[in-house]
Amino acid sequence: MKLLQTGRWITAVGLVLLAGVYVRALAFTPVERFQGPAQKIYYVHVPSAVVSMMAMGLVGLAGILFLLLKDQRFDRFGEASAEVGTAFSVVMLTTGPIWAKPIWGTWWTWDARLTLTLFLFLLFLGYLLLRGAVTDPGLRARYSAVLGICGLVLLPFIHLSVYLFRTLHPQPIVLKPSAPSLPGEMLVTLLVSFLVFVLLYVGFVMQRYALSLLREEAAHA
């Protein structure tokens, strides 16, 4: 199948490029003065967080489109995006505490964005659990679309609620409307890493989507 082959190639290229990102981040990007080498965790943590968020957004969007158009493809995409998003949120949830320990002095704290990431992970898991618990394919597609949309709407509320609770997470410094306050070389590394993570997301989703197709074929045969 063409989709599967393309997905495999994109994933392979993405993994090679990931090695390239490591080399660039470790050898060719300056060490931050106050945080030391641990700051470099940022180059894998932030892209995985952004990609997980994006994956959840696309799950919600796929849900809306599925309910409007009743097209199976959106359901398969939602399933693929949720599973791949789970993988990236695991990266985000493991690298976050590893960065927090040397910098904040604690593995975990109920900081706003940290809490948000945990929620994101739990939403993904809930979505996948719901899919596993429904056997009828038509019902499963509609249920998971509903849950995906609700999750998408919930995220801003969680953000708002935990933000008002209290926060010590570093403020976003890349997307500030004034000039980004990250030094040029670090910014380039971050953006390159971000692109590689997006590429990996695309490769993974294509493979996962192809897997759903293969399973449907096997079920019909």
- Give contact residues for another protein (rule: CB under 8 A): 4, 8, 11, 15, 18, 22, 26, 31, 33-38, 40-41, 44-45, 48, 67, 84, 87, 90-91, 94-95, 98-99, 101-102, 119, 122-123, 125-126, 129-130, 133-135, 139, 142-143, 145-147, 149-150, 153-154, 157-158, 160-162, 164-165, 200, 203-204, 207-208, 210-211, 214-215, 218
- Distance in Å, CB of 196 to another protein, minimum: 10
Radius of gyration of the chain (CA): 19
- 78 vs 203 by CB, closer to another protein: 203
Q: CA triplet 34, 43, 56: central angle to 5 degrees?
A: 130
Q: In whole angstroms, how far apart are CA 99 and each of 108, 113, 185?
A: 10, 14, 20
Decide if 203 contacts 8 (C-beta within 8 A). yes
Q: What is the four-CA torsion angle of 107, 110, 114, 115, rounded to 10 degrees?
A: 140
- Distance in Å, CB of 76 to another protein, minimum: 13
- 161 vs 179 by CB, closer to another protein: 161
- Read off the tokens for 61: 């969007």
Measuring CA to CA, which residue among 176, 186, 174 is closest to residue 33? Answer: 186
- 1 vs 176 by CB, closer to another protein: 1
- 128 vs 187 by CB, closer to another protein: 128
- Distance in Å, CB of 103 to another protein, minimum: 8
**Residue bearing tokens 């470790």:** 26
Beta bridge partner(s), residue 114: none
- Distance in Å, CB of 146 to another protein, minimum: 5
Decide if 99 contacts 45 (C-beta within 8 A). yes
Distance of alpha carbon 36 from alpha carbon 185, whole angstroms: 16
- Distance in Å, CB of 187 to another protein, minimum: 19
- 143 vs 174 by CB, closer to another protein: 143
Main-chain phi, psi angles of 179, to 5 degrees? -55, 135
- Distance in Å, CB of 177 to another protein, minimum: 26
- 188 vs 199 by CB, closer to another protein: 199
